[in-house]
Amino acid sequence: PPPPTTPPPPPTPTPNLFRRQRQMCIRDRYNSELTMINITLPDGNIKAFETPPSGLEVAQSISDGLARNCVAMELDDNLVDLSATIDRDTNIRLITSKDPEALEILRHSSAHVMAQAILRVYPDAKLTIGPAVEDGFYYDVDMAPVSEDDFAKIEAEIKKIIKEKLPIRRREVSKDEALDFYKDEPYKLEMISDLEDGTISFYEQGEFTDLCRGPHVPHTGVTKFIKLIKVSGAYWRADPSNPQLQRIYGTAFFTKNELKDHLKFLEEAKKRNHRKIGQALDLFSFHEEAPGMAFFHPKGMEIWNALVDYWRQEHRAAGYVESKTPIMLNRALWERSGHWENYRENMYTSSIDEMEYAIKPMNCPGGMLLYKTKPHSYRDLPLRIAEIGLVHRHELSGVLSGLFRVRSFHQDDAHLYMTPGDIEAEILGILHLSERMYGAFGLGFHLELSTRPDKSIGTDEQWETATNGLASALDAYGKKYALNEGDGAFYGPKIDLHINDALNRTWQCGTIQLDMSQPENFNLFYIDKDNQKHRPIMIHRTVFGSLERFLGILIEHFAGKFPLWLAPVQAVILPINDDLVPYASEVTDIFKDAGLRAEIDSRTESLNKKVREAQLQYVPLIITIGGKEKEAGTLSVRTLDGKVTYGIS
């Protein structure tokens, strides 16, 4: 046989082959790097993904605990669903239950869960809108009237939906597809018709689909702690000519304890309801003959007058003078001020002697007529003119709410006229005055600077000067303030003062509005040092805001237990028998002569009953007079904390 042959050795690679292999490796690595998605987190760390990840996958790559806690993400400064795919290098922020945006997302999702439950219980109901609001959410539904007694069966269905943990998925469709989908839903059809052509987003959870821009939590199981609160009527799109809907309110939290604490808060707020306390203390009432316009009873007027007396005392000390202007002025004035064009729908009008008039919704135009009654020099400025003016604004009947939302109210207005150099000092003066006056009631406050709205008058230069003037004064005041873009008055930017009551609720009461447009409209001027005419800068401001609303806030803040200086009845005199009534009447007169609001209770009821009734009326000083007190010329005084002090002269 032929000798075995040795296989030839492999060919030695040439330099060109080495070069080609190296180029292929470099190319493969380069292409791989091109497909990587780099996600930059808020702390600067970068996560790289070979395929486009969802927000949930980014969270899971960090930790399972974080993923369970996430509800959405911020992508390109927009909040989006956690399920959204990230197809490019970008920065993201994962939104967890601890972030301030999370609660609104949870509550918006909870509104969808409630709507789904309502449709399961009431299949013929027609849905409209269901937004998140400050303390929870609501959904307006066209259905037969429901009451809080019906909440149990809706909440039972809500619990089932939560237990099902239905994924909440976004789906985008064309406008035509959306119209076809909702062809049997008149309210949704109307909303879609108002939208511009383009992509419209739906959200689906199980059998339920809703028109919504999102974002939402990943699944219904996240909306674990929901509670329905109340139901009221609401017109579709706030128009009384449209159908009346059932507005069902609810609230939602991430934890059971948060929900429990909130329900306790609501229970305490219900006890402090100013309408119930006002009726129990005989302070005010409302009547069908004048909807939204309060009738103040004698005891209510005692508190009112105490407030006004204090207001006058503080304003005199701060260098203000007081004025009074008519409540009805002709159309030409309102056209000149801009109210006829910008505020007409909220004004009450009348025709007299073939001329149109309007009841004033604001005091400003009348105040400017007062300024024009005589010439002014720079030596007269700053000029601070205050007015407690009765104004009327048309509010829809569905939004009227005791003293908080009325159609007729007294505004503690003031108009300040000044030179540009006075702006900062005058605003600081108003802030310090407000601080003193709120402090008298134990009310704290925080500040917001509101800038130019879409609907406004005046030039860009005027708005910039006015806004900078307010910001400069706030900086000098030294307290933090929030910026509220686009929420200024139509005639100028403003500072809003939001007070905090005993339940830590906030109420917008005081406002400081810098106006350089109205002096132009009314041709206001002063003679400056150069002997030339110049436009004054004008500030509109309130402290209480609406006296009616401020009184309602105080009733709830004090829960009806007013401090001695505000109490409608400061002292009640209780003789222990009929023989002591004449002497008790003399004591009552002594109290009245001293300026105290005192009453005698001479009814033939037991002393214990009269004491109990006085306590229920929150009378600060309950004074009993027996034989010993008459003989010694002393009194026994019981205060609202239950303590009794004997032998007071």
Instruction: Please give the positions annotated as active site.
Output: 364, 393, 411, 413, 415, 494, 540
Residues 6 or more apart whose CB falls under 8 angstroms from that of 43 comprise: none
Instruction: Give the three-state DSSP class for 585.
Output: helix
Instruction: Give the three-state DSSP class for 161.
Output: helix
CA distance 550 to 543: 10
CA distance 415 to 382: 10
Residue 388: phi and psi, rounded to 5, are: -95, 90
Instruction: Give the three-state DSSP class for 636.
Output: strand
User: How many residues are present in the chain?
Assistant: 649
Q: Retrieve residue 328's tokens.
A: 């009805």
Exposed/middle/buried for residue 570 (C-beta within 10 Å: 0-12, 13-18, 19+): buried
CA distance 139 to 134: 14
CA distance 487 to 450: 5
Strand order in the sheet with 635-639: 598-600, 571-575, 621-625, 635-639, 644-648
Q: Which stretches of 182-297 are DSSP H helices?
A: 186-194, 256-271, 274-280
Which residues of 428-557 form beta strands (DSSP E)?
A: 444-450, 481-484, 494-500, 506-515, 526-527, 533-534, 537-546
Contact 206, 161 (CB under 8 A): yes
Query: Smallest Cα–Cα separation from 384: which of 449, 317, 443?
Result: 317
Q: Retrieve residue 360's tokens.
A: 């004033």
The contacts found for 529-534 with CB under 8 angstroms, 24 or more apart, are 529/378, 534/378, 534/419
Q: State the greatest distance between any 2 C-alpha atoms of the chain, in Å, as a whole number.
A: 154
Terminal-to-terminal C-alpha distance of the chain: 145
Identify residue 205 by its one-letter amino acid code.
Q
CA distance 403 to 552: 6
* Three-point CA angle 396, 397, 401, nearest 5°: 105
- Ramachandran area for residue 236 (φ above 0: left; ψ -120 to 50: alpha; else beta): beta
- Beta-bridge partners for 233: 246
Query: Smallest Cα–Cα separation from 370: which of 436, 432, 317, 414?
Result: 414
According to DSSP, the β-strands at 90-96 and 37-40 are: parallel
Contact 101, 72 (CB under 8 A): yes
Number of CB atoms found within 10 A of residue 623's CB: 23
CA distance 590 to 586: 6
- Give the Å distances, CA to CA, from 476 to 35, 263, 426: 53, 40, 12
DSSP code string of 273-302: -HHHHHHHTT-EE--TTSTT-PEEPHHHHH
Residues 6 or more apart whose CB falls under 8 angstroms from that of 67 comprise: 56, 59, 60
